[in-house]
Amino acid sequence: MAEILNVTTPPDDYAILHYDDSFEGMLTAVFESYTRKPVPISIVGQQHQKRLDVQYITIETDFRKSERVIDGINRIMGGDAYERVWTGFLSCNPDKEDIIYKYIRFGMKVGHKVHFHLTDRRVMNMDKLVKLVGRESSLQIEFVRFSRMEGGVFYGRIEPDNDVLPLMMPFFADRFNTQPFIIHDTRRQTAGLYDTQEWYIRSAEGITMPEYSDDEMKYRALWKRFYNTIAIKERINPNLRRQHMPKKFWKNIIEMSMVDGAKPTALPSDISRSKDAERFLNPSPLPQDKIGTSAESQELRLPADTGSQAAKK
Amino acid sequence: MDLMDKLSILTDSAKYDVACTSSGSNRSGVKGAIGSTCLPGVCHSFAADGRCISLLKVLMTNICVYDCQYCVNRRSNDVPRAAFTPEELALLTMEFYQRNYIEGLFLSSGVMQSPDASMERMCRVIELLRTSYRFNGYIHAKAIPGSSPELVRKLGLLCDRISVNIELPSEQSLRALAPDKPKENILRPMTEIRDALTQNKQELAVYRHAPAFAPAGQSTQMIIGATPDTDWQILRLSESLYKKYSLKRVFYSAYIPVGNHALLPHDQPPPLLREHRLYQADWLLRFYGFKASELLDDKRPSLDPLLDPKCNWALGHLDIFPVEVNLADKEMLLRVPGIGPMSAMRILKARRAGALSFDDLKKIGVVMKRAMYFITCKGKMYPGVRLTHSFIYENLTADARRNPKGLPFAPESEQLSLFPAPAVPQLSAADKGGEAVWQKSLM
Ligand code: SF4
């Protein structure tokens, strides 16, 4: 049946909503889906390869509409469900909008009971989406390594598949508290900054980093020595190690990146080394009043209500 | 001696301690301090042996006046010795923590002059961390057998977790191999810690801001495969430790030959599969409501290397199977091989949205490879399955028999005969006198 539909000219009612890749945009599209008859079959983002046999409707992001959807999810499906939607949106799965869309539509129908439908395809797909994001976030939290820079800022680099920086920042801001740090997502060129008061995420462009502090190499060497000494040689088990610590993380893990005789991790070229350049965390790169405003929010990929997170305390 | 050399020596001498978890404590950040802890713990790296590295695990010093035969640090062993100063170890911990290498510190120590002298030095490091550096991360410290109650108490107030190693699974083994450590010296601090924990719980109930005593509780560790003690003895011991001392964890450490005493095994590879099976059985005691006597007994004192202990138990109790997944309560579900606490919970949830089929169970995360023999869905057995011992045993162990190397932690040289004779010398008849096992002293 589907095949037959695909080859015929698109009927008007075969619609897909197209949005601007922002979280609010996606929720606006969800809102719009309730105003249209028949119900649109899916929501897609900017990366989507358009097909010829369907009609695309571009949705203008509208914060009032997205707010209403957030309210609705919280009220009808519960706070957990909203958290899942928000987390799922950080996924790199190209079908994430479709999965989230179907989950919300189903959940709005069954309400809180959505948590019991563990074997429903729509709920399972959502489970998986959220699980993979959560798992990657935990792994990045385990394996990100910071370096002390001159002036006392700590710099760490990640290259995650999913956009997990918004999940990592509150964790480290809470933990490090008195210690300023920056986590640089080299895949998305975003940077999470914490200045001992609050954290925020911005584009990594234009940030200049100081040199490594004098004792940085000393502590790396000590750590590496510890790492190499702690293993029990009678129990050596490379498979088990790889299972727990997948290879793709190794290049950013200090003790592993030097295993194959590689040089100490250099600063990435995109974050320039410069002695006389403005120091990191100097106020000019990011005007405080712009944090979390709508102009920034698309670049930051953060939902409005969490965009300007001051660290939780 | 420079810091690098000290670190090498004091890591090398600490590596045989297995517990490296940072679990059991949940403390978010504190303004002006550095550090937090997470309930399930966080691993930060994995060593070449595949074990998790969560804490900076080192000894304060490996100088030791005792002569425990199973330990690399024993007085009579010719190894380089070193000691950290409290200042350098505290700083090192902070520098590692700030770089996210570790979750905190796991500190133990050889007996320098006396147990108290070592304990004082350990307390000094942790005090520096907690007060000078305002370190709020995880600390696990090992109390030294024979140290004074005041120091044990002091240590507990500074740490997340405190442990006293029981070392060997039976008293006669201990007497033969650790002459300086009478069992009272081990049990006394364990008792003190247990009582302090109970008291602290009451204090916290009355006054929320009472100083916490080892919020992640007490744990212990024993070496397996160094002495002829059986799995049955070991599990019974663990069970009473959980019950009588309210321990959070018992850790098992496969013996690596480091001693040359006549009573110790020499060329034997570490019994990793046995260690793995013991952890599985231990899990059953802690999370599945099993009793040690359900898993083993005098006639069957060893865990089956080919089959995990839960499957093994189920095979011995076919009369209570099959279990109808759509009706069974949680306790019963937990008894089914292939269903863990997580999937049991999910089954209970999902049942509320409708009756479950075999297909649904798979989606929920039940390990059907094991569960299929023991359950019915809507009254039907899994197609082709027969509920007989031989049928199920053949199928469950088929892979392991065809390819023994596929078993977890099965090194090539490990013998897979069903009940391997312990490859350790037997204790002499004199040592066995009185049948004074740990269990008795724990009663
Ligand atoms: S007291 Fe501890 S460090 Fe000393 S020999 Fe015995 S087990 Fe080893």
**Structural domains in chain B plus CATH codes:** 3-302 (3.20.20.70), 309-396 (no CATH)
CA distance B72 to B68: 9
Contacts of A215 in chain B (CB under 8 A): 95
Predicted TM-score of the model (pTM): 0.85
Segments of A195-291 assigned E as strands: 199-203
CA distance A247 to B134: 35
Residue-by-residue pLDDT tens, chain B, 443 positions: 899 999 999 999 999 888 778 898 999 999 999 999 999 999 999 999 899 999 999 999 999 999 999 999 999 999 999 999 999 999 999 999 999 999 999 999 999 999 999 999 999 999 999 999 999 999 999 999 999 999 999 999 999 999 999 989 988 888 989 988 888 899 999 999 999 999 999 999 888 888 899 999 999 999 999 999 999 999 999 999 999 999 999 999 999 888 888 888 887 888 889 999 999 999 999 999 999 999 999 999 999 988 999 999 999 999 999 999 999 999 999 999 999 999 999 999 999 989 999 999 999 999 999 999 999 999 999 998 999 999 999 999 888 887 777 677 654 434 444 334 444 445 444 444 333 445 555 54
Helix or strand run (H / E) with residue B324 = strand B323-324
Q: C-alpha dihedral over B173, B174, B180, B184, to 10 degrees?
A: -140
Please give the structure tokens belonging to residue B313: 């138990």
- Tell me the C-alpha to C-alpha distance, in Å, between residue B213 and each of B93, B210, B369: 22, 9, 44
pLDDT > 60? residue A25: yes
Helix or strand run (H / E) with residue B183 = helix B183-206
Residue position matching structure tokens 């713990």:
B41
The atom number, within ligand 1, closest to the CA of B67 reads 5
The sign of the dihedral angle between the CA atoms of A169, A172, A173, A174 is positive
CA distance A105 to A17: 14
| Amino acid symbol at B420 | P
CA distance B331 to B308: 19
CA distance B326 to B261: 57
Report which DSSP code applies to B44.
-
- ipTM here: 0.88
Cβ-Cβ contacts under 8 Å for B72 (sequence gap 6 or more): B13, B16, B62, B79, B258
Q: What is the pLDDT of residue A13?
A: 63
Q: Do A178 and B346 touch (CB under 8 A)?
A: no
Residue position matching structure tokens 């290879």:
A247
- Dist. CA A270 → ligand 1 center (Å): 52
Segments of B181-312 assigned E as strands: 218-224, 249-254
CA distance A100 to A83: 12
How would you classify the pairing of strands B138-142 and B161-163? parallel
Decide: residue B202, CB within 10 A, 0-12 exposed, 13-18 middle, 19+ buried.
Answer: exposed
Instruction: Give backbone dihedrals phi and psi of B224, rounded to 5 degrees, phi first.
Output: -115, 150
Q: Do B51 and A235 touch (CB under 8 A)?
A: yes
- The set of protein residues with a Cβ atom below 6 angstroms from ligand 1 is B 64, 66, 68, 71, 73-74, 110-111
Residue position matching structure tokens 């937990």:
B334
**β-pair partners for A155:** A147, A182
CA distance B216 to B54: 15
8 Å CB contact between B382 and B372: yes
Residue position matching structure tokens 């096992």:
B437
Instruction: Give backbone dihedrals phi and psi of A196, rounded to 5 degrees, phi first.
Output: 80, -5
How would you classify the pairing of strands B55-59 and B104-108? parallel
**β-pair partners for B138:** B104
For chain A, first and last CA: distance in Å? 56
Please give the structure tokens belonging to residue A106: 């189903």
| Amino acid symbol at A97 | E
Q: What is the pLDDT of residue A48?
A: 86
- Tell me the C-alpha to C-alpha distance, in Å, between residue A311 and each of A86, A92, A174, B82: 18, 25, 7, 43
Decide if B101 touches A, using CB distance below 8 A. yes
Angle of helix B86-98 versus helix B115-127 axis, rounded to 10: 40
Contacts of A228 in chain B (CB under 8 A): 48
Q: Is B210 helix (H, G, I), strand (E, B) or coil?
A: coil
Q: What's the farthest any 2 CA atoms get from each other in chain A?
A: 69
Q: Do B44 and A238 touch (CB under 8 A)?
A: no
pLDDT (tens digit, 9 = 90+) per residue, A88-130? 999 999 999 999 999 999 999 999 999 899 999 999 999 999 9
Contacts of B15 in chain A (CB under 8 A): 229-232
Return the domain boundaries, chain A: 12-136, 144-203, 216-281
CA distance B134 to B22: 18
pLDDT (tens digit, 9 = 90+) per residue, A38-82? 899 999 999 888 888 888 999 999 999 999 999 999 999 999 999
- Dist. CA B182 → ligand 1 center (Å): 13
CA distance A196 to A214: 22
pLDDT > 50? residue A167: yes
Residue spans of alpha helices (H) in B68-148: 86-98, 115-127
Please give the structure tokens belonging to residue B103: 């979750």
